[in-house]
Amino acid sequence: MAQKLMMTALSPTMTEGTIAKWSKNEGEAFAAGDLLCEVETDKASMDYEAPASAVLLKILVPAGGKASVGQAIAIIGKAGEAPMPPNELAPQPSREPEAPATESKSPIVAASPERVESPIATPLHGAPLAPASALPSSPLARKTARELGVDIRMVRGSGPEGRVVEKDVKAFSEKSPAGVFSSAVTARGEASLSPGRGKGNARPSSKETPVSGKRAVIAKRLSDSFFSAPHYYLRKQILAENLAAARAAVNAKREASISINSIVVKLAAATLLRHPEMNVFWKGDRIEQREVIDIGLAVALPDGLITPIVRDCAAKGILQIDAEFSALIEKAKGKGLSPDEYEGAGFTVTNLGSFGIDEFTAIINPPGSAILAVGAIIKRPVVGPDDAIMAARTMALTLGCDHRTIDGAVGARFLADLASMLEDPFQALL
Amino acid sequence: MKERFFDVVILGAGPGGYVAGIRAAQLGLSAAVVEKDSPGGVCLNIGCIPSKSLIHQASLFDEGKAMLERIGAKIDVSGFEYSKVWRSSRLAADRLSKGVQFLLKKNKVELVKGFGVLSDSNSVTVDNGGEREILHGKALIIATGSRPRALPGFQIDEKIVLSSTGLLMSETLPASITILGAGAIGMEFAYVLRAFGTEVTVIELLDQVLPLEDAESAKIVEKAFLSRGMRIHTSAKAEKLSTVGGKAEMSVMLKDGSAAVFSAEKALVAVGRAPNTENIGLESLGLRVTRGYIETGDFYETSAAGIYAIGDITTQPQLAHVASKAGEIAAEHIAHLLKGSPEPRERRINPYTIPSAVYCEPEVASFGLSEKKAKDLGARFEIARFPYKGIGKAVATEVPEGQVKLLFAPDTGAILGASIVGAGATDTIHELLLASSAELTLEEVAETIHAHPTLSEGIMEAAKVGLGRAIHI
């Protein structure tokens, strides 16, 4: 019996291929293992060998044509056998889609509102239908979405095949304050309360938590940064003896101790003053050089991450920077920060040393172009002045830079200066 | 003692147990079903199936007679033997019970005969006439079903005072009967017996027949029953039942407060069903049981992990189709835990998606919110009704009594519930149930072309009534 010869994945990553050349002609017999055609992918050119002995009855995708994996490229069978009727054959995507021969009133669209082809399909008596790209949704979900003013395309479906059902729309509406929730008790609303009664013996295999607004912002900002800014990282380990001693000396005379981060921020500001090319924003078609040095500090809160900013750090002393950060963190934990208190840092410091992390890389906090990741101050063996190995307190710095604005040498010069500043804090005064 | 090991051992081969067994086997589990009687449970042997056979024959007999008389035919039913009617009902039950045996065998589910007792949380001891065997299961499903409920003072002797089981197994037709309880069981028997000529009196404590059904639907049934010559007393409290001189005498306080005594050849006590949860070892396993019903959580798991309970022994409605669905959910959950197959789509049956069906003539079927329940909940709803008189086929086939009643949400057209009374109701209800659970609204139902002439047209028309554009009313 005649069979379709499918395009197969000739390499593990191949999803489609172009027939470079057919090595057999229609009507020609071949044996298993014979070269049938050459297939090109974006990576390589490969031989398509015959899976079995047969006759090439008909070529469906001629040389130069593209076929995705799993698509029929030819019909093979016995000599003299008729190829299958064309309506059984897969369409050939290498051709432009043809306009339908007759104007269709698109009855399928009207009859099956589950998946609609036109962007906004003709509604049946005013029933809103799903847009083309949307997941399937139930008629009731669409009507409820219209009632509640919810854009159904934003709703994730929990039904079969991701179908959006009424409760998804209601849950979405309740989550987002924009939609007004009119509470009509419905059979479904009531019923959904009765299953899932806690009995203590349910063993759900996973738990889903809706994404909070804050988590959504964090996700978007960090994804935007990580996937648009080409990150590179520079590492430097510093001797932290002087830094630790200086901090201990200052804190000994104070009731509330100064955070190591405030010292790092001040010294980073002092270094940035000498390297203004680090204090820049990527603006797509231009680079904005910042006049003032605004430094953000990454702070972990129970419900996410926030980066309060101390403005103009170069003009402020360590005590003031420390006091401002303390106040901002308290505010962040309470009623929250206003945008001008966390937006627009030219440089960011993040420190996981208190968790005992030796060193780590961080994602740049846009619109700034660099972020300094600070590890824990820990004793490590270091090579002393007379080549003796000794134990000394050290700290690992990892500078993450956006290569669009900061080239490697620029970042390296900055980090080297910052390192020597941290090793000898007195230099900040110079 | 002989021991065998399975993934799942199921106690009871009724519509819950045998379905759970087959579903488990489909998902690659080894399963055993323990049954002391014939497979198929009450439903197949002494419930749904034989009673439907009787109802079918009663309806043919009654309507056939009426029709022949109307066209002037002379009818002589003197050779009528109820035992032949009864034998047909047993034949249907036996045939389907054998069918269940075949299905279990085909799916390689082990049917173990005997009385099973849970000996620990992973095993069942089966006693088959003294021969004992232990079946070990990684999971257990209890599906032991129910039996007719006895009322204190209304002792069932199955000679004069019968349960549904006794009546179904009776080869003879009583000349008269007093039926206690106008629920589905009482009303179905009332219909059957009356059709074959028995004098029937129905006593119901609540203020309507079929108390679980919509009041309007119940009224239509009551009217039809009264016109067939039955006596029905609602809001009537039965106080005593005694057998006097071989007759059943029921003392009843009627609605108006007067006392009455109903004497008949037999009495039927049809006041619900009691769960079979005694003497199967539940106590020692610490399962939470309330008034005889086993408490279950998600996937019908009991308070003991790995032990599931489905069907009439749980607090869900005592219906065969509920037991079957629960059996599928439990089996799918066990397969999920043991084999990693997908979790069942629903953790429990949503009570608003359970259809109820009463098979007398006219039939009654319903699901979802009733009008009363909707009012109690303070839900926003509207009602659409369409009478059978407006359905061409109902008139042509001489079944013009009935109506389709829909409850819907006024803002979205969501179908909240329905009650259909009339011919074919127990079959046609599913269109609305499917529409409701798939979240189709009145519009989709109204827009769907329904073949003419069919009884289903009434559903389309009722949806159109809800939209204010019915054609045939």
Under an 8 A CB cutoff, do B440 and A182 touch?
A: no
pLDDT at B407 over 60: yes
pLDDT tens for A259-292 read 999 999 999 999 999 999 999 999 888 999 998 9
Residue B411 and residue B435 in one domain: yes
Peptide bond into A385 cis (omega under 30): no
Annotated active-site residue A403? The verdict is yes
The superfamily CATH assigns to domain A117-183 is: E3-binding domain (4.10.320.10)
Q: Where in chain A is the domain with CATH 4.10.320.10?
A: 117-183
Residues forming a β-bridge with A390: A382
**A160 contact B CB<8A:** yes
Q: Are B235 and B206 in contact (CB under 8 A)?
A: yes
Answer yes or no: do B242 and B322 share one domain.
no
Q: What are the φ/ψ torsions at residue A335 (nearest 5 degrees)?
A: -80, -10
Over the stretch B256-273, which tens digit does the pLDDT of each residue have?
Answer: 999 999 999 999 999 999
- Residue B144 to residue B275: CA distance in whole angstroms: 8
* Residue B431 belongs to a domain: yes
B409 contacts in A (CB within 8 Å)?
A: 184, 186
Query: CA-CA distances (angstroms) from residue A329 to A256, A294, B181, B463?
Result: 15, 16, 71, 60
Q: Name the one residue in this structure whose structure tokens are 């046609």.
A: B428
Contacts of A26 (CB under 8 A, 6+ apart): A56, A57, A58, A59
Percent of the residues in chain B that have a pLDDT greater than 90, as a whole number: 95
A54-59 sheet: strands from edge to edge: A3-6, A72-77, A54-59, A29-30
Lowest mean pLDDT among A84-93, B154-163, B191-200: A84-93
Strand pairing of B2-11 and B131-142? parallel
Inter-residue long-range contacts of B287-292, CB under 8 Å, 24+ positions, other chains counted? B290/B315
Question: Beta strand pairing status for A45-49 and A231-239?
Answer: unpaired
Chain B residue with minimal CA distance to A161?
A: B345
Kind and range of the H or E run holding B230: none
| Contact residues for A392 (Cβ-Cβ < 8 A; gap 6+) | A239, A240, A241, A379, A380, A382, A384
Amino acid at A349: V
End-to-end CA distance of chain A: 89
> What's at B302, amino acid-wise?
T
Residue with tokens 């972020």: A371
Whether B350 has its CB under 8 Å from any CB of chain A: the answer is yes
Determine the residue among A125, A146, A168, A185 to mutate to test chain B binding: the one whose Cβ has the most chain B Cβ atoms within 10 Å.
Answer: A185
As for the ipTM of the complex, it is 0.76
Cross-chain residue pair A201–B438, CB shorter than 8 Å: no
The closest CB to that of B350, out of A125, A166, A191, belongs to: A191
The whole-angstrom distance between residue B252's C-alpha and the CA centroid of its chain comes to: 27
- For residue A9, the distance in angstroms to the closest alpha carbon of chain B comes to 29
Interface residue B295 vs chain A (CB under 8 A) = yes
Residues A163 and A160: their CA atoms lie apart, in Å, by 6
Alpha carbon of A126 to those of A113, B393, B450: distances in Å?
13, 32, 21
CA–CA distance, A254 with B98 (Å, rounded to integer): 90
Interface contact A144, partner B, CB < 8 A: yes
* Distance separating alpha carbons of residues A66 and A52, to the nearest angstrom: 23
Q: Which chain B residues touch A165 with a CB distance below 8 Å?
A: 439
CB B236 within 8 A of CB B252: yes
The domain of B446 spans 362-466
Same domain? For B172 and B291 the reply is no
CA angle B3, B9, B10 (to 5 degrees): 135
- Structural domains in chain B (count): 3
Q: What is the pLDDT along chain A (430 residues), one digit of tens a residue?
A: 678 888 877 776 777 888 888 988 888 888 888 888 888 876 677 788 887 888 888 888 888 888 887 788 888 888 877 776 444 444 444 344 344 444 433 333 333 334 333 333 333 333 344 444 457 899 999 999 888 888 888 888 888 878 899 999 988 888 764 433 333 333 333 333 333 333 344 455 677 777 777 787 788 888 889 999 999 999 999 999 999 998 998 899 888 889 999 999 999 999 999 999 999 999 888 999 998 999 999 998 877 888 999 999 999 999 999 999 999 998 888 877 887 888 889 999 999 998 999 999 999 999 999 999 999 999 999 998 889 999 999 999 999 999 999 999 999 999 999 999 999 988 877 7
A197 to chain B, any CB pair closer than 8 A? The answer is yes
Q: CATH 2.40.50.100 residue ranges in chain A?
A: 3-87
Q: Are B350 and A205 within 8 A, CB to CB?
A: no
Beta A72-77 vs A280-282: how paired, if at all?
Answer: unpaired
Which residues in chain B are closer than 8 Å to A166, comparing Cβ atoms? Answer: 414, 439
pLDDT for the residue A66: 85
Candidate from B345, B416, B447 with C-beta closest to A187 = B416
In this complex, which of A124, A165, A198 lies closest to B443 when CB atoms are compared?
A124
Question: What confidence tens digit (pLDDT) does each residue in B8-49 have?
Answer: 999 999 999 999 999 999 999 999 999 999 999 999 999 999
Residues B414 and B294 occupy one common structural domain: no
Mean pLDDT, all residues of chain B: 96
| B179 to B87, B211, B364: CA distances (angstroms) | 23, 15, 19
Q: With contacts defined as CB-CB under 8 Å, which chain A residues touch B298?
A: 195-196, 199, 201-202, 204
Judge if B17 and B132 occupy the same domain.
yes
Specify whether B172 is located in the same domain as B320: no
Closest to B213 (Cα-Cα) out of B381, B429, B466: B429
Would you state the pLDDT for residue B294?
96
Tell me, yes or no, whether B421 lies in a domain.
Answer: yes
Where residue B178 sits, what CATH number does that domain have? 3.50.50.60
Q: Which residue has the higher pLDDT, A46 or B407?
A: B407
Q: Of B269, B292, B272, B274, nearest to B282 (Cα)? A: B292
Q: Which residues of B124-144 are buried (b: 16+ CB within 10 A; e: fewer)?
A: bbbeeeeeebbbbbbbbbbbb
Domain assignment present for B437: yes
CATH number for the domain formed by residue range(s) A3-87? 2.40.50.100
Instruction: Please state the pTM of the whole predicted model.
Output: 0.61
User: Is residue B205 less than 8 Å (CB to CB) from chain A?
Assistant: no
Phi, psi of A412 (to 5 degrees): -65, -45
Given CATH 3.30.457.10, say whether it is the number of domain A229-429.
no
CA distance linking residue A233 with residue A403, whole number of Å: 10
B278 and B133, same domain (yes or no): yes
Query: A154 near A141, Cβ under 8 Å?
Result: no
How far does A15 lie from chain B, in Å, by closest CA? 28
3-state SS assignment for residue B33: strand
SS3 of A221, please? helix
% chain B with pLDDT above 70: 100
Catalytic residue of the set B321, B430, B452, B472 = B452
Is there a domain that residue B76 lies in? no
Q: Does A207 touch chain B (CB under 8 A)?
A: no
Per the CB < 8 A criterion, the answer to whether B263 and B247 are in contact is yes
Question: Are residues A199 and B416, on separate chains, in Cβ contact within 8 Å?
Answer: no
User: Is any Cβ of chain B less than 8 angstroms from the Cβ of A124?
Assistant: yes
| Contact yes or no for A192 and B350 at CB 8 A | yes
Answer yes or no: are the C-beta atoms of B274 and B149 closer than 8 Å.
yes
Q: Is A43 on the interface with B (CB under 8 A)?
A: no
With an 8 Å Cβ cutoff, is A385 touching chain B? no
Active-site residue, selected from the candidate residues A42, A47, A312, A407: A407
Distance from CA of A106 to the nearest CA of B (A): 17
Contact A144 B348 (CB under 8 A): no
pLDDT at B61 over 70: yes
Rg of chain B in Å (alpha carbons): 24
Is B461 a member of any domain? yes
Q: Same domain for B137 and B41?
A: yes
Residues B219 and B171 in one domain: yes
CATH no. for residue B450? Answer: 3.30.390.30
Answer yes or no: are the C-beta atoms of A79 and A62 closer than 8 Å.
no
Burial class of residue B42 (count of CB atoms within 10 Å of its CB; 0-12, 13-18, 19+): buried
The answer to whether the CB atoms of A195 and B440 lie below 8 A apart is: no
Given CB atoms, is B128 within the 8 Å cutoff of chain A?
no
A383 φ, ψ to 5°?
-90, 120
